[in-house]
Structure 1
Amino acid sequence: MKAALRTISLGVACAAVLAPQIASAQSTVTLYGRVVSGLAYIDHVFDPVANASFSKSMVASNQWGTSMWGMKGKEDLGGGLAANFLLESGFELKNGSTGGALFNRRAYVGLSNDSWGSFRLGKNLFISNDVWDLDPTGQQWVGSATLVRGRNWPGANNVVEYSTPNMGGFNATAQISLGEQAGNSKANRGEGISLTYANQDLMLRAIYSQRHNAAGTFTDVFSTSKETIIGGTYKFGPAKLYAAYDYITAPEATLAAASKLKHAWVGVRYDVTPALTLIGSVFHVKSDRVAGKATLGMVGADYSMSKRTLLYATFGNVSNSNGANFGVDGVSGNPAVNQSQRTIYAGIAHSF
């Protein structure tokens, strides 16, 4: 009995000595998030049942940016190696909905090293979301995803991803989203690569991605297709200029659907004061067949009340032709064929 008590006492003493060392190896887990909401108005929403167009007013949710919360952590494993994780969920602030998944944006674990880069496994945003820093709106609903109907902002499951370290301003990320279907390795698979060069005020980026359908083919330019994006930004004084070209193909699309999209934009962000930024951009898309063509223009303003709280306002207008019916924000409802549509939304974003 005494021997057992001595063994237990020794174990407790060892645990007391080792516990601070174990705890000190784990960095603090960080909880973060953002909540965004406001009011929005949109006109010429076409109702095919009534064969008429209507306007509507809404409590806006996520038009300026996604409401989300998450947590991330990192542990130093020694020798420059670290383990890290990230869990993140987006939600609709107006009703609290997460779309049925707890961590619907990101959920991954990985290893990183300053010498060889970082490796991740799990769920992430699809690599085409790297278009974010080529978009003067920051991927608002009236932005780079609108005229491609969300092709460049989906999520990705079953992800294996690798990013290089920064090498003289150059870095690259490669991603594959496995379809995990027996007998067809291409079914529901996504893959891509994103290359970036940044040097002082200049940033250049190229993104190539593929999204396969359940049969492993490319049949829809807006969802299952091949996409190439090239563009850049340049900052001088209070102004930051943006320009990009986006080319999408779906080689197996039927003759009744578009098989090619040519999408391009230019824009600017201008810091009037340290708190106030004005935004302006023009986007244009043209299809090879039935999707037609459209031009989308937007102007907006962001006003920072503090480091965490921001007020925003955006106005957008889309003009359709050649049989097109692109919506002005891509989400709230399309106009009739060849009809224009306008929206205005404003609200508040708070980060924590």
Structure 2
Amino acid sequence: MTLKTIADSLGVSAKTVSRALAGKDSVSEELRARIRAEADRLGYVPNSMARSLVSGAAMTFGMVITHPANPFYALLISAVEERCRANGYSLLLMVTEEDPETERHAAEELLRWGVDGAVVIPVQEGADHWQRLQDSGVPIVLVNRRLDGFECDFVGVDHERGAYEAASYLLDAGATNLYALEEDVPFSSAADRRAGFHRALAERGLPVQDDTVTLVPPSTAPLRELPWEPDAAYRCAQQLVSRLEPGSAVLTGSDYFALGLYRALAEKGIEVPAHVAVIGHGDLPFAAYLQPALASVRPPAAEIGARAADLLFERIQGSTAPAATIFLPPELRIRTSAGGNDRHAEN
């Protein structure tokens, strides 16, 4: 079906149909209603490619993520897509699975498609390909991970603050020894969490020993299955558990890690939180339903996605403001594992 098909059916010009469907004021409301009704009856669908050629805009955002199975990214994608839909844009999604070469290919594809803007969670191994995309006139917003030397808008979780507040809560609640079970990855998000953990200890005059932070290696499984393996955290936690004295506490960099820790503690007959308090990170859907319910740091995924999309729309509309760096605070959800009330149905 084309505009001419609708025009011939109603005895009007194709230009009149085009103006009516585009919402132009030059068409009466009565005629506009007739044209839209006929377009619906005939099953007319606007040609986005033709519209792009006329307007000079693809009306599409690109989005590049690393973990297709990560619940954080699921919320992020939904928020960006919602903003796009509300503004008449489409979303082109690409997945890198933490592979630098796949990421470079994704950047080239976004350039080839001529997207109007891009929301990117980078692998953090080079920025030349993103620089080329931005130099071509495509604004970029980085999410959750920064790239040194690459100037563009950034929106992310304040991981340092989240870890600091969680560690401070455990210490102020009486933890005699505090440990961390953290990701062994070179990403800014993990480094920021470690910095917050260390700051909480330093402010209270507590030393950071060599064994204070236990690093969990990345998953060897395809990232489309799970971003992290609880089993890897379980093996690391088995070594950590032997050092946990009554009154200790553990801050994990992922709720998946907390699953592995829970198993290691249970096998040794160590009760949570009676002997060891635990706080996770991510506040994944299962956290509130564990026994005991897992306290966790909840990142504001939806807010980050919406803010990133809004920044792109501002750039497309001509904003020349300096690159924004926005850190949104996470929320500390206290539950039984950290000594709080067991609000089992809280999500």
Q: Does the pair score TM above 0.5?
A: no
Q: Which has the higher helix share?
A: 2
**Which structure has greater strand proportion?**
1
Larger Rg, first or second structure (1 or 2): 2
Q: Which has the higher contact order (CA 8 A, sep 6+)?
A: 2
TM-score bracket for the superposition, by shorter chain length: under 0.3
TM-score for the superposition, normalised by structure 1: 0.26
